[in-house]
Amino acid sequence: MSGKITTPSETTSNKPAALKQLIVGIFWITVLTVSLSLSRVHYTGWLDVYYLHIVFGLSTTAIFIFRNSTPYKIQLFFVLLIPIAISTSGMLFMGIFGTGVLWAVFTLLIAVVFETKRYTILLAIYLGMVFLYSAYLFTYSGRSFPIDANVY
């Protein structure tokens, strides 16, 4: 290690390349997880959540295919939009039983690396409010899990 201190302009220039690498990684993870999720249809029957899996899988595939011709800010918008949508829907429909909270953490990690501090703080406030609202719904409003947890 040379001990060189990098300036913000040096680290900012690497962000588009890092985002493209993140998109490739997300694509392959999506291919694996959507395939595994849909393979459970034989055991669980068709659940409405599978529509979301297909939509997010196709969205990720589109981002992957057009990653070289799409501007950086548009790529970043969609890379953040998909986990925000998954997190929000997961927390509102499955509560802490689903993976919405984990997707919220994943979203904030992406935002910390690629977005401004102000945007990341606003996103954290939004996701925290969704979590609190979900906790209220499942605790005081009488919402229950939409599916049998043992089957899912």
For 10-58, how does the pLDDT look when each residue is reduced to its tens digit (9 = 90+)? 555 789 999 999 999 999 999 999 999 889 888 877 877 788 889 999 9
Q: Could you identify the residue written with the tokens 């001990």?
A: 3
pTM value > 0.85? no
Is residue 115 classed as helix, strand or coil in its secondary structure? coil
Contact 109, 79 (CB under 8 A): no
pLDDT tens per residue across span 80-127: 999 999 899 889 888 877 788 999 999 999 999 999 999 999 999 999
Measured CA to CA, the distance from residue 128 to residue 125 in angstroms comes to 5
Closest to 59 in 3D by CA, of 32, 99, 30: 30
